[in-house]
Each structure stands twice: as C-alpha cells, then as structure tokens.
Amino acid sequence: MDHFGFVLGILFLVVVVPMWIRHHYRHRTETRRALNAEDERALDDLRALAERMENRVQTLERILDAESPGWRNKLS
C-alpha cells in the first residue's frame, strides 16, 4: 500500500503539476497580451485626440493671425 501512494504521488508530480503550470502561465501570457492590446488602443485614441487638438490650435492661430496680426507680439 505504501508503494501505491508513492506511485500516485510521482504520477501527480510528473503529469498533473506540469499541466497545471503550463495552463497557469499560458493564461497569464494571454492576459498580459490582452492588456497590452488595450493599452495600445488607448494610446492610439490619445494620439488621435492630440492630433485633433493640434489641428484646432493651428486653426485658431490662423484665425488670430488674420483677425489680429500682432497678437503673438502682445504675448511676449
């Protein structure tokens, strides 16, 4: 009976534990990739927002240049 428990323990360590470890780390890697993809989408959204804001600032500067040519000197 002692040998049976020993054999079961060895089988558990050789078969079950490696499968559990492989599943655990595969899940962590997939989660990390998903987070990275979400981070990339968020950065893309921020880049698009920054580009729109830059375009608006340039438009406002053109309007101010046309309406009040010396506005830049007044800021200094």
Domain parsing of the chain, residue ranges: 12-71
Question: Which residues fall within 8 angstroms of residue 42, CB to CB, at 6 or more apart?
Answer: none
- Tell me how far apart the alpha carbons of residues 67 and 59 are, in angstroms, rounded to a whole number: 12
Which residue is associated with the tokens 């060895």? 10
Which residue is associated with the tokens 């323990």? 9
- Tell me how far apart the alpha carbons of residues 66 and 68 are, in angstroms, rounded to a whole number: 6
Q: Between 50 and 71, where is the model more confident?
A: 50
3-state secondary structure of 70: coil
pLDDT score recorded for residue 1 = 56
- Which of 48-52, 55-59, 65-69 comes out lowest in average pLDDT? 65-69
